[in-house]
Amino acid sequence: QAFRKIKEATGVSDVNEVIQKIVSQEDQQNSLMELTRENQARIEALNEEKARLKAQVEEIKYTGTGGRTGARKMVDMYEEKLTVSSTKLERAKDKYERLARILINVKAGIDHLCDKLESVRE
């Protein structure tokens, strides 16, 4: 009867498959946690780069270094870099949010399996 409950909870009929499923979920959770940390660091780096580029653009706009044409080209170049960085930042944020949702679902799945297995232990 206990194994039947486990089978219903996990959707697998073999004991080894149940064990493998639990182990692989733990590995997946660890992997997702690492990806979350990496993406968070990347988002922070992109935010810093965006702020730096924005400051450079503002500085160039108001200092008027050299001829007006050269300054305009530099402003355009930095605005383009800023746009590219902003796009990268948005993609990284989207990826981070998607991975965070997956991580929450994996945690919920593991908690669910633990609850089911706890009733079997009793």
Q: Which domains does the chain have, with CATH numbers?
A: 2-121 (1.10.287)
Q: What percentage of the chain has pLDDT greater than the value 90?
A: 30
Q: How far apart are CA 52 and CA 73, in angstroms?
A: 18
How does the average pLDDT of the chain come out, rounded?
Answer: 83
39-55 average pLDDT score:
91
Instruction: Give 26: exposed, middle or buried? Use CB within 10 Å, 0-12, 13-18, 19+.
Output: exposed
pTM of the model: 0.47
